[in-house]
Chain A
Amino acid sequence: MTDQTRPPFRLNNSELWTGVLGIALGVFVIRSGLKLKLGTINDPGSGFMLFYIGLLMCAFAVTIILASVTEGGPTFGSRWEGASWGKPGAIIVILSAYAFALEPLGFLISTVPLMLVLLRVIDPVRWTLAIPLAVLAPVSVWWVLKHGLLIQLPSGMFEIG
């Protein structure tokens, strides 16, 4: 995403908040490094690298914040200007649900509905194409993996597949 117009500093400046998030992550990494023990300079411990990388993260995040304060930055809203955020949002929700259903239901039972939903809900494809594609694509992939490459996909509680 390119920032063509730089509005003056506002609290909903997205650059500022990503910088704040960077500092939070940096502090977490520093803390983890300290917990793991830094060791000494001639015998660095498990937390040595994490600690110093955490410090660098904080430094870079501060640079981002300073730039956002001095130069301004785009707002959260402007990042989605002219874009339909609903579609990626829906895909994220659908995929999260799928990830949790994959193991208990098995690959075939969970993937056929996933494909159908993706084909029909996000940017609708006609039913006559959506149904065969939603069934044939997962089934053929499952068949090739199982019989051709001897890779077992999850069969779930119903042991289908």
Chain B
Amino acid sequence: MDVLVNVMHGFGVALQPVNILYCFIGVFIGTLVGVLPGIGPISAMSLLLPVTLSGTPESGIIMMAGIYYGSMYGGSTTSILVNIPGEAASVVTCIDGHQMAKQGRAGPALGISALGSFIAGTFALVMLMLVAPSLASVAIAFGPAEYASLMVLGLVVLTFLTQGSMAKALLMACIGIVLGLVGLDSITAQPRLTFGRIELIDGIGLVPVVMGLFGLGEVLLNTEQVIKRDIINAKITQLLPNKEDWKASAGPIGRGTILGFFLGILPGGGAVVASFASYALEKRLSKHPERFGHGAIEGVAGPEAANNAAAGGAFIPLMTLGIPPNVVMALLLGAFVIHGLQPGPLLITQNPGLFWGIVASMYIGNVMLLVLNLPLIGMWVKLLKLPYNVLFPLIILFTIIGVYCSSNNVFDVYVMVGFGVIGYFMRKFGYEPAPLVLAFVLGPLLENNLRKSLILSQGDLMTFVERPISAACLVLAVVLLIAPLLPALRRKREMVALDEGV
């Protein structure tokens, strides 16, 4: 009953005209960046982070959340029609989605993708609504030791799931922690690694780092080669899947939704892992696995449901524990902090309007996305024809403006250009930026909780293993660190390894 009252209260917040407008802007921009290859939700959210300052916290966060789950919807359009994933979570959709489009079944592929996403997104919201308050009440009992261990686990999971060498991913995570520690020490107020620059006293900004590594770094990499686009030009008809399509897709959507939701909750997991895991699961369960890769609708329905459910699930660790499980959630944490709010166990009780307002806005946003995605497919296809040599200067322009507006400081533009160059070379040499960014956000929190727990326990390291939750997190982290040394587990890791860690 309480939940219903809270949801009604949330709808009261989300249905305010200004919040509906922000929600619409969020899902529209999300779909747009999902559709456009070369710009993803991370860049768009960093770009719009300063804009959230002009409204209430509810409006800003509703818009940021809309960009995230909106991009999950939009990403499938490019995968199906152009065979280029709009963002990392839609890579798998290319395999069967584009084959379906080539066979003249682009309509049902786009339709099942949008409807599957809607079903999964709605399920994730119901679960978020039911799980988050109970988890938050448990999380109140968390002390610094639990938080420190949970953050260690989050970083290890992300490095485990990152593509390529785990040593490289761990090195990136360490560099991220160091970068996060630049500025005044929160306990002793001593400046660290500031090199006498006054601009670094408050630390390095999240926006220039993310925009540099993901926005500019990606542009530099994309300009190296000609992007080929195999756009399906035939008129797209019959968007609603037929009875056979529904029959084939119902199971994959259901399984993808549940799998995606739980993978989304895991620190370090997320939409990308969920979509790959769902595809592998459907192929394994199928009576005709040979159809996969040749236009099987199950290969579109499952992963699309999974990535949307994961996007919803990822809100749980942020809202209940205050720990972002991936880079996108780290940016959302940034939006909370900008407004002087701290997500965590107390958020739901202290700011019920904000929490339930965000949840309710996601219902509204999911309906908006269904309306946006199906009738506006033609418009998105036209956008896809925008050549990259016109698009990339615009991305650079918006990147510069986003970074400048986040702090009104030209120094951050230097930082962004610097990290853009670093991001480009990192990708060239096989170092993924996702662990660096997540560690950059978690680093100061990790240090703070680690030092607090050592002070509270008078230097007794056993405090981390005597507390059950902390011990469980550390044991799991150790298992994941050792896992790549075992050949069987190494193969499994390579199967689920992801590109961007989002």
Binding site for B on A (CB under 8 A): 1-3, 14-15, 18, 22, 25-26, 29, 32, 36, 40-50, 53-54, 56-57, 60-61, 63-64, 67, 79-80, 82-85, 87-88, 91-92, 95-96, 98-99, 102-103, 107, 111, 114-115, 118-119, 122-125, 129, 133-134, 137-138, 141, 145, 149-154
Contact = CB atoms under 8 A, between A and B. Distances in A.
A144 to B, nearest CB: 10
B354 interface: no
Given A64-B167, A87-B223, A95 B420 contact: yes
Q: Name, among A47, A107, A123, A145, the residue most crowded by chain B CB atoms within 10 Å (CB to CB).
A: A123
Given A48-B451, A122-B223, A111 B428 contact: no
B51 A149 contact: yes
A102 B410 contact: yes
A32 B171 contact: no
Contacts, number: 168
Nearest to B172: A60
Nearest to B459: A42
Contact of A115 (B177, B393, B450): B393
B428 A80 contact: yes
Closest CB pairs A-B (n = 4): A42-B459, A123-B389, A41-B459, A118-B393
Given A103-B410, A118-B393, A118-B396, A87 B193 contact: no
Given A50-B192, A91-B220, A83 B388 contact: no
B397 to A, nearest CB: 6
B424 to A, nearest CB: 6
Given A42-B459, A96-B417, A102-B413, A82 B430 contact: no
A50 B389 contact: no
B392 interface: yes
Interface residues of B, number: 64
Given A85-B224, A125-B389, A129-B390, A32 B193 contact: yes
B225 interface: yes
Interface stretch (B21-29, B294-302, B399-407): B399-407
A26 to B, nearest CB: 8
Given A60-B174, A64-B171, A96-B417, A46 B410 contact: no
A125 to B, nearest CB: 5
B399 to A, nearest CB: 10
A141 B223 CA distance: 24
Given A15-B429, A115-B397, A137-B393, 18 more contacts: A42-B459, A44-B454, A46-B192, A49-B450, A50-B181, A54-B178, A57-B174, A60-B174, A82-B225, A84-B224, A88-B424, A92-B421, A96-B417, A99-B413, A111-B397, A114-B397, A133-B390, A141-B398
